[in-house]
Amino acid sequence: MIIVLKGIPYQGQNVRECMRGKGKKPDRRVYTLKLIPHQGETVRSLNISIRALKAAAGAAAAVLLVLLGALGYSAYSYFGLSADGAKLKNLEQTNGSQQEQLKALAKEASELQGEMEKLTELEKELNRLVDEDGASGHHTGQGGPFVAPDVSQVKRALDTVSRSLPERRENLARLQERLVAQKEKQKEQAAEAEKLARTSVPGNIPAGWPTTGEISSPFGLRWNGSDFHPGIDIADDTGTPIMATADGVVTDAGWNSGGYGNKVDIDHGNGIMTRYGHASEVIVHAGQHVKRGQVIAYMGSTGFSTGPHLHYEVRVNGEPVNPASYL
C-alpha cells in the first residue's frame, strides 16, 4: 500500500506562498491523504484541512500539559506526604520514649514516697510516745497549683530525694530502735503496776486491766452528751485475750441481744460485778468459778460495735461506776 499526502492551496495563493505562510487570508489549505493498494483495489482519499490539524495538535499539547501537571502534582504529593509521615513517626517515637521514662520515674517516685511515709509515721509515733507532739509545732498544711511535670523536673526531684535517702534510712533505723525500747519499757512498767495492784488488792475486788490496748471511749457522757457510756472501751486486735479482773462466779456467758454481743458477767460478791462485752469468743460458762487474771474470752466486734474492742464495766449494787478507778 502506498500513502500519498498532497496539499491543495486556496484560490489566489500559490503553493510557495502557502508553504511560507504568506498572505492575509485565513489558512484554508487542505491536505489529501490517499491510500493506494498494491493489487488494484479502490484508491481511497481523506481530505484534512490545516485548521483541523492545528486544532488536533493544540488539543494533544493541552492533554500532554495536563498529564504532565498531574504527574508532577502526584510526585510532589507523594514525596511531601512521605516526608510528613516520617516526621510524624519520629514525633510519635519521641513521645513514646518520654512516656516510658515518665512511667519508670513515677514507679521510682512511688517507692521513695513509700519509704518517706514509713519514716513520717514512725516519727509521729515516737513524738506521741515522748509527748512532744503538742509542743513541737508540726503542721501538715499543703497546697499550690497543679502543674504537670516534665521528665527533667521529675529527674531533678528524684535525684534530690535519692541523695538524702541514705541519711533518712539511718534515721529510720535509729527511730525504730528507740520506738521498740520505748514500748518495751512501757510494757514493763504496765506489768509491774498491774502486778502491784493485783497483789495489794483483795482477790474479789476488781484490779488491773482486763486486756491490752488503748482506751478508745471513756466512761460517762459522750457524743456531745447524746449518750451515756456505762463503761470504758479498750481497743486492740481481734483475738486479744480478755481476763477476769477479780475472783468470782460467772453469772452469764454468751450472746446478748441488747447490744453487747458476746459478753461475760462475773459476780465478785459484796454487790460488785464486772461485765465484758463484744467478745469474738467466750470460753467460760455460767456457774463457773474464775480467778483474777484467768482468760475468759477473746476480743472481737460483736453486737453494737464499730471495730474490735472490749467494753468493760464495773457495777456496784447494780449501778455502773467508772472502771478507771479500778485499773
What are 107-145's pLDDT values in tens digits?
777 777 676 677 667 666 666 655 544 444 444 444 445
Alpha helix locations (H) across the chain?
A: 15-20, 50-129, 151-200
In-domain check, residue 29:
yes
Q: How far apart, in Å, are the Cα atoms of 41 and each of 32, 36, 38, 44, 196? A: 18, 8, 7, 9, 148
In-domain check, residue 322:
yes
Q: Euclidean distance between the first and final Cα of the chain, in Å? A: 137
In-domain check, residue 266:
yes
Which among 42, 62, 82 is the end of a domain?
A: 62
In-domain check, residue 106:
no
In-domain check, residue 272:
yes
Residue 273: CATH number of its domain: 2.70.70.10
pLDDT of residue 240: 93
Nearest to 281 by CA among 249, 312, 241: 241
pLDDT of residue 128: 61
> Under DSSP, is residue 54 helix (H, G, I), strand (E, B) or coil?
helix
Q: What percent of the chain has pLDDT over 90?
A: 29
Total domains present in the chain: 2
Q: Is the pLDDT of residue 315 over 90?
A: yes
Encoded amino acid at 211, one letter = T
Identify the bridge partners of residue 233 per DSSP, sorted by sequence position: 217, 311
In-domain check, residue 235:
yes
What are 242-255's pLDDT values in tens digits?
999 999 999 999 99
Instruction: State the average pLDDT over residues 275-303.
Output: 95
Least confident of 97-111, 134-148, 259-273: 134-148
pLDDT of residue 142: 43
In-domain check, residue 281:
yes
In-domain check, residue 200:
no
Contact 250, 244 (CB under 8 A): no
Which among 62, 97, 114 is the end of a domain?
A: 62
Which residue range(s) make up the domain with 283? 214-326
pTM of full prediction above 0.75: no
For residues 132 and 178, what is the distance between their CA atoms, to the nearest angstrom?
14
List of long-range contacts for 296-299, beta carbons under 8 Å, 24+ apart: 296/242, 296/243, 296/244, 296/250, 296/253, 296/264, 296/266, 297/242, 297/262, 297/264, 298/238, 298/239, 298/240, 298/241, 298/242, 299/211, 299/213, 299/236, 299/237, 299/238, 299/239, 299/240, 299/241, 299/242
For residues 198 and 257, what is the distance between their CA atoms, to the nearest angstrom?
33
